[in-house]
Amino acid sequence: MQIVIWGLISIVGFYILYVLFFYVLQRRLLFPVHELPAHNAELITQAGGELVRLSFSQGEFELAYLAPLKDVYGERSPVVMLAHGNGNIIDDWAPRLDYIRGQGFSVVLAEYPGYGRSDGRPSYRTIKECMLNAYDWIEQQPQFDHEHISLLGRSMGGGAVLSILSDKTPHAVILMSTYSSVMDLAKKRWVPRFLVRDPFDNVSALKNYKGRAYLVHGEADRTVPIDALTKLLAAKQDAEHQIYSTGHADTPDDWDEFWVKVSDIIKPEKAA
C-alpha cells in the first residue's frame, strides 16, 4: 500500500514540477526569440522595401513597406498586412512576396516586440499593441486604399492579426496553420488553461468577423493539429478553406497556387 501511495505522490509531484516549468517558461516557448535567425535588413531593401519605425509602450517596433510591382489600381493600392510565425522575422518574408505585389497589392510586414530590430518583449498585449499601431499607420498613408486592408497571419501570426478584430474591420483575413487558442495548445500538453498568460483566443476573435476569410492547414500538422481548423471554421462558417497533406512548416505545398487564391480573396469587389 505504501508503494502505491508513494507512487501517486511521485506522479503528482512530477506533474506539479511539469506545470511549474511550463508556467515559468511559457513565453520562452511561445516566443523563442533566443532561436531567431539573424536579422538582415538588406533582404527588405533589396526587395525594394522601406523600413519604418513606430513607437509603442516599450520603445519602437519596426515594419517594412513593400510597394506594388505593377500599377494595377492607380494612386491607392489595396494592402496586405502580414504577421509571420513565431520562429521568423519580417526579413525572411520580403523576398517571397513578388507574386502578390505583381498583382498590384502593397504589403506591410509588421514585426513583433523583441523580434529582429524591434524593442521590447513579446506578449499578447504588446503584440496586439504593435499590430494596432501598424494598422493605424496604414490608415494614415495616402497611397493605400483604406477600404481594402487585408490581414494575413501564419501560425502565431494568425493570433497576432486576429487580436485586433475587436478594434478594426479589415476587408479580408487569411490564416495559415493557425491555432484555435494557446489555451487549447496547452490543454493538449496537460497544462491547465488558467495558467496560460497569453491566450490568443482565435475562435472568439473570429466569431464576430463579417468579412471574407480564407484558412489553410496541413492535415499532418503536429505542431498545430488540424482540429484547430475545425474549431475556426465552426466560428466562421462562411470561410473558404484548403486542406493540404502537409505538416506545419511545409504548408502550403504549392505557393504559387496559394498566392493566386489569396489575390482573388483580397482583391477589391469592383475588380473581382
Could you give phi then psi for residue 194, rounded to 5 degrees? Answer: -70, -10
Q: Are 181 and 201 in contact (CB under 8 A)?
A: yes
Record the pTM.
Answer: 0.92
Q: How far apart are CA 261 and CA 264, in angstroms?
A: 5
Q: Are 110 and 52 in contact (CB under 8 A)?
A: no
Question: Can you list the domains of the chain with their CATH numbers?
Answer: 31-271 (3.40.50.1820)
pLDDT tens digits in sequence order for the chain, 272 residues long = 667 666 566 666 666 676 677 777 788 889 999 999 999 999 999 999 999 999 999 999 999 999 999 999 999 999 999 999 999 999 999 999 999 999 999 999 999 999 999 999 999 999 999 999 999 999 999 999 999 999 999 999 999 999 999 999 999 999 999 999 988 887 877 778 788 889 999 999 999 999 999 999 999 999 999 999 999 999 999 999 999 999 999 999 999 999 999 999 999 976 54
Q: Which three cell numbers stand for residue 82?
A: 502580414
β-pairing, 77-83 with 50-56? unpaired
| Total Cβ atoms within 10 A of residue 179 | 25
- Angle at CA 108, nearest 5°, toward 104 and 111? 160
Residue 138's SS3 state is: helix
Residue type, 90: I
